[in-house]
Amino acid sequence: MTTSLTPYRSRLHPAKAGFRRLLHAEWTKFRTVRVWPIVLAVASVVIVVICQLSASGSTTSGDREIVLGPDGTVVVDSFRFAHRPLTGDGTVTVRVASLRSADGKAVEPWAKAGVMVKSSLKEGSAYAAVLTTPGHGVRMQWNFTHDRAGSGDGSRWLRLTRKGDHLTGYDSEDGRTWSRIGDVRLPGLPRTVQAGAFAGTPAHNVVHRAFGGTSETYGGGEVTATYDHLTLDGTSAARRWASTDVGGPRPNGPAPENGRPGATAVSPAGTYTLTGHGDIAPDENRPDMVQMSFQGVFVGVLFMVALGALFVTAEYKRGMIRTTFTATPARLKVLAAKTTVIAAVTFTAGLVATAVGFTLAQRQLRANGFRPPEFPDLSVLDDPALRAVAGSAVLLSLVAVLALAVGVALRSTAGALATVVVLVILPQILSFAFPLPAAQWLLRVTPAAAFAVQQGLPRYPQVEHNCLPESGCYPLSPGPGLAVLAAYAAAALLLAARRLRRRDA
């Protein structure tokens, strides 16, 4: 009599069961080869120590006069203002006849002339403005950090209407047909405000770069704006226009809260001329306190490159990879398991190291004078610190994955290390010496772009800014910069998968 036995079948999906087994096997390899956890631990300690040491070497006197905008942003608020008080609702209109340099130099692209409603003459007070610029057409700007484009470059007629705490901007090419630019709300706007025409220009900035050094030259610069048809409709306690240098020269200390009177009063009729200097914008000429707290990540990258490469090339060197592929013929699953494990362990260690390093560095920086209100008091859970900490951990993880993929493709520890270091580290070094356009291009197209994730200062498009690599500035914003590294890692993994399928172990 023959008895037929039914074979046992697992209730788990074979693919899922197999991949979990592979993950466990690769994790076991990682933790049982003692040198790898030691390298990971040393990398974490080095990141923390260098973050702390770098912060301890950075100091500031803290005696710089700063101006805070309505939202607490450090701003520049300096311009010539022809103004009258406006009580309640009203409209200010002007035609900008010309805008030219007052000192013979080229007019800055962000030189400004137009109409403004400002809470008071105090620097940093709330405002809305409609203005024309030589390089960026007509704009509506408010409260320093906000900017919106107008309808066209040729508009010279500008209008700003107040209704309560709402300000609506318009522009026109002929003074008859008006195009609405936008409506903004300025909470807490007092009943009586200052309304009128203004002129100002940012400083002229020239950067000279050569191998071995960089120099920046700032020129004060002045701009002269000529107006006509300057009108104020509404209730005003003054019949004549007053001229004030808001945030003007301070020969004997801070400017008074009501501004500094201009040398020449504006004529009550006919053509009006204002000559002004200074800017109305966020102040970007200050250190990035967030980025200063992550200097250890640059060195930590070297450890992650070595760890990612050795995690696979050590098996090739000892011939153990044949055993792995014999046990699991599905080579792409092995690659996926190795990638998952190395990504997980490096991200976890990197997250802990960068969080601790940032916290200690911030404490040291505050002790060295980097304190509010100019520098925010950030914890690791505050934005942009949280984004920079998590992004730095992702950066370290992606670098390890890139090294692993290159190691699979080349099957050489030295080749993988050299390739990834050239891609990630060398562009950083070369960018300090190359001409600025070449340096910025290099930091856009190589994995070094990912270090942009550590930037903590926002960049505003309405502010002309020289992005210098030696100042910690990257041409890409944090998200796109990290995406460049992710694209390199993905491409390397695809190449590694192809090589795995086409070559013997």
pLDDT tens for 341-359 read 999 999 999 999 999 999 9
% of the chain beyond a pLDDT of 90: 64
As a whole number of angstroms, the distance between CA 307 and CA 153 comes to: 55
Compute and round to an integer the Cα radius of gyration of the chain.
30
Which structural domains are found in the chain, ordered by start?
16-61+287-502 (no CATH), 67-282 (2.60.120)
Report the phi/psi class of residue 384: left, alpha or beta, with left for phi > 0 and alpha for psi in -120 to 50. alpha
Buried b (16+ CB within 10 A) or exposed e, 61-86: eeeeeebbbbeebbbbbbbbbbbbbb
pLDDT tens for 278-303 read 999 998 888 899 999 999 999 999 99
pLDDT tens for 99-143 read 998 777 788 899 999 999 999 999 999 999 999 999 999 999 999
Q: Is the pLDDT of residue 268 over 70?
A: no
Band of pLDDT at residue 57, cut at 50, 70 and 90: confident
User: Do residues 162 and 117 make contact, with C-beta atoms less than 8 angstroms apart?
Assistant: yes
The predicted model scores a pTM of 0.85
User: Is the pLDDT higher at 146 or at 220?
Assistant: 146
As a whole number of angstroms, the distance between CA 193 and CA 149 comes to: 25
Q: Is the pLDDT of residue 209 over 50?
A: yes
Residue 74 backbone phi and psi in degrees, to 5:
-75, 125
Q: Cα angle vertex 372, ends 371, 374, to 5°?
A: 95
